[in-house]
């Protein structure tokens, strides 16, 4: 079946009324016939039909056993970490999302969880840190903002060898391009704020698990900790999912053209994009992401100074200067002064975040317009 047919028809028609749009159940509680006698719903933190619809849709989209919707991507990550206990260890990709780094290092470390940050672009590096205490291997592929690719299948095999679970933050790839559970991952999470929502108008987090045991654990944590997504935002994410494949395919097409333009531009030093044959793990990305290399690009300037980068990011017209990504409108940012400002300069440079690195989130505008916009910014910076 065509991917888009499958996505559209995984969204249910309301059984009660035939409503083609999933109804928004804006309620805190449900009237019961007698104590404990109800229609399967008793309190909205525990369960809400709009949320249940979204959770089922995302589980289907990722090919998992069950899905869970949280208030933000970080609330989703937090719920996964709460499956751990003191003494457990995590092996995590070294240029993990900054907010995940902050949560792991500044909150969970103090509860006795040990985190090893590893360059997972070589799967063999992961083996060095696996032991009987390793409970999670945490990957992003592609990563932010340097678009590094890790071999999910190989790493899952290694992790399972010591009984560890593999979690993939699939925010950048999206379920349209990459389905980590098929590749051997146990848990997939998304910041629904990005491509799934797709319009830069909400915050959301999603978790999909591959077994009933993990589903029971995450359900218990979701209800106990309470970071659930409200019904109206669930509905907006469902509406976003209806067009996610169309949007992402267009965004990937734009990104391929823009990456090629940048790679041959005289003012550009280096382009990070998994779709370029020069990318270290281009071959792995080709297979793992079904030929869709994503809508995110980063590049550094020949003039590797913060001044040049700041001049560039304030010179574009269609690429709006903002944090976040994945929306229909193109965005750009300067990671070292914005998303990665809290990372010490030496650490930043070591992971490839130069002073002039610029990150692009390609939207759905015309590729030629986006390329002209970048060209006029190069011209302006030159003066
Ligand atoms: C944005 C983002 C998150 C966090 O999501 P929020 O919805 O902002 O909490 C996690 N991982 C990645 C890769 C992200 O881009």
pLDDT tens per residue across span 121-160: 999 999 999 999 999 999 999 999 999 999 999 999 999 9
Task: Report pLDDT for 340.
Answer: 84
Least confident of 94-98, 289-293, 324-328, 339-343: 339-343
Residue 171 CA: nearest ligand 1 atom is: 13
Token look-up 């793992």 returns: 288
- Residues 366 and 370: their CA atoms lie apart, in Å, by 6
203 Cβ contact partners less than 8 Å away, ≥ 6 residues apart: 71, 72, 73, 192, 193, 233
Confidence of residue 3 (pLDDT cuts 50, 70, 90): confident
Question: Rounded mean pLDDT of 244-266?
Answer: 98
User: Is there a contact between 237 and 204 (Cβ–Cβ < 8 Å)?
Assistant: yes
Tokens of 370: 């986006």
> Active site includes 45?
yes
Question: Rounded mean pLDDT of 331-359?
Answer: 90
- Residues 58 and 71: their CA atoms lie apart, in Å, by 15
User: Is there a contact between 379 and 265 (Cβ–Cβ < 8 Å)?
Assistant: no
Whether the CB of 134 sits within 6 Å of ligand 1: no
> Active site includes 169?
yes
Q: Above 80 in pLDDT, residue 12? A: yes
% of the chain at pLDDT higher than 90: 92
Ligand 1: residue of 175, 178, 193 to mutate (most ligand atoms within 8 A of CB) is 193
Tokens of 250: 């267009």
Per annotation, catalytic residue among 135, 194, 247, 359 = 194
Task: Report pLDDT for 331.
Answer: 98
Alpha-helical runs (H) found in 178-327:
212-225, 231-242, 244-263, 282-288, 306-313
Task: Report pLDDT for 1.
Answer: 85
Confidence of residue 183 (pLDDT cuts 50, 70, 90): very high
Q: Above 90 in pLDDT, residue 341? A: no
CATH classification for the domain delimited by 246-382, as one of 3.90.1150.10, 3.10.20.30, 3.40.190.290, 3.40.50.1110? 3.90.1150.10
pTM for this entry: 0.97
Confidence of residue 347 (pLDDT cuts 50, 70, 90): confident
> Active site includes 97?
yes
Task: Report pLDDT for 350.
Answer: 87
Ligand 1 centre to CA of 97 (Å) is 7
Residue nearest to atom 1 of ligand 1 (CA): 191
Ligand 1 centre to CA of 191 (Å) is 5
Ligand 1 centre to CA of 74 (Å) is 6
Q: Above 90 in pLDDT, residue 24? A: yes
Confidence of residue 181 (pLDDT cuts 50, 70, 90): very high
Ligand 1: residue of 97, 98, 141, 201 to mutate (most ligand atoms within 8 A of CB) is 97
Residue 325 CA: nearest ligand 1 atom is: 15
User: Is there a contact between 297 and 258 (Cβ–Cβ < 8 Å)?
Assistant: yes
Residue 193 CA: nearest ligand 1 atom is: 7
**CATH code of domain 3-242:** 3.40.640.10
Ligand 1 centre to CA of 18 (Å) is 35
Q: Above 80 in pLDDT, residue 383? A: no
User: Is there a contact between 180 and 170 (Cβ–Cβ < 8 Å)?
Assistant: yes
Whether the CB of 97 sits within 6 Å of ligand 1: yes
Per annotation, catalytic residue among 25, 51, 95, 97 = 97
Helix (H, G, I), strand (E, B) or coil at 157: helix
Task: Report pLDDT for 382.
Answer: 86
Q: Where are the domains of the chain?
A: 3-242, 246-382
Confidence of residue 348 (pLDDT cuts 50, 70, 90): confident
The tens digit of pLDDT for each residue in 57-80 reads 999 999 999 999 999 999 999 999
Q: Above 90 in pLDDT, residue 259? A: yes
């Amino acid at each position: 079946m065509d991917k888009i047919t499958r996505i559209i028809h995984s969204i249910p028609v309301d059984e009660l009324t035939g409503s083609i749009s999933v109804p928004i159940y804006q309620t805190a509680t449900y009237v019961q016939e007698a104590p404990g006698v109800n229609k399967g719903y008793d309190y909205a933190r525990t369960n809400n039909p709009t949320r249940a619809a979204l959770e089922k849709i995302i589980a289907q989209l990722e090919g998992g056993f069950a899905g869970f919707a949280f208030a933000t991507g970080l609330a989703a990550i937090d719920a996964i970490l709460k499956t751990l206990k003191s003494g457990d260890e995590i092996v995590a990709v070294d240029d993990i999302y900054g907010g995940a780094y902050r949560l792991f290092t500044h909150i969970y470390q103090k509860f006795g969880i040990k985190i090893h940050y590893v360059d997972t672009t070589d799967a063999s590096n992961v083996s060095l840190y696996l032991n009987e205490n390793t409970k999670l291997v945490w990957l992003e592929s592609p990563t932010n903002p340097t678009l590094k690719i890790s071999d999910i299948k190989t790493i899952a095999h290694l992790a399972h060898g010591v009984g560890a679970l593999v979690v993939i933050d699939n925010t950048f790839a999206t379920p349209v391009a990459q389905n980590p559970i098929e590749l051997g991952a146990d848990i997939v999470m998304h910041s629904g704020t990005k491509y799934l929502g797709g319009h830069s108008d909400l915050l959301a987090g999603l978790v999909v698990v591959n077994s009933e045991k993990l589903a029971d654990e995450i359900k218990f944590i979701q209800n106990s900790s309470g970071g659930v997504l409200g019904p109206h935002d669930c509905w907006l994410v469902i509406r976003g999912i209806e067009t996610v494949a169309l949007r992402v395919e267009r965004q990937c097409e734009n990104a391929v053209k823009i990456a090629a333009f940048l790679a041959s531009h005289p003012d550009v030093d280096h382009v990070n994009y998994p779709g370029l044959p020069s990318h270290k793990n281009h071959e792995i990305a080709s297979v793992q992401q079904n030929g869709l290399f994503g809508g995110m690009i980063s590049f550094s300037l020949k003039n590797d100074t913060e001044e040049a980068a700041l001049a560039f990011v304030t010179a574009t017209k269609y690429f709006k200067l903002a944090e976040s990504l994945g929306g229909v409108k193109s965005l750009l940012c300067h990671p070292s002064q914005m998303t990665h400002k809290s990372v010490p300069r030496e650490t930043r440079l070591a992971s490839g975040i130069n002073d002039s690195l610029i990150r692009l989130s390609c939207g759905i505008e015309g590729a030629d317009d986006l390329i002209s916009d970048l060209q006029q910014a190069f011209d302006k910076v030159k003066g």
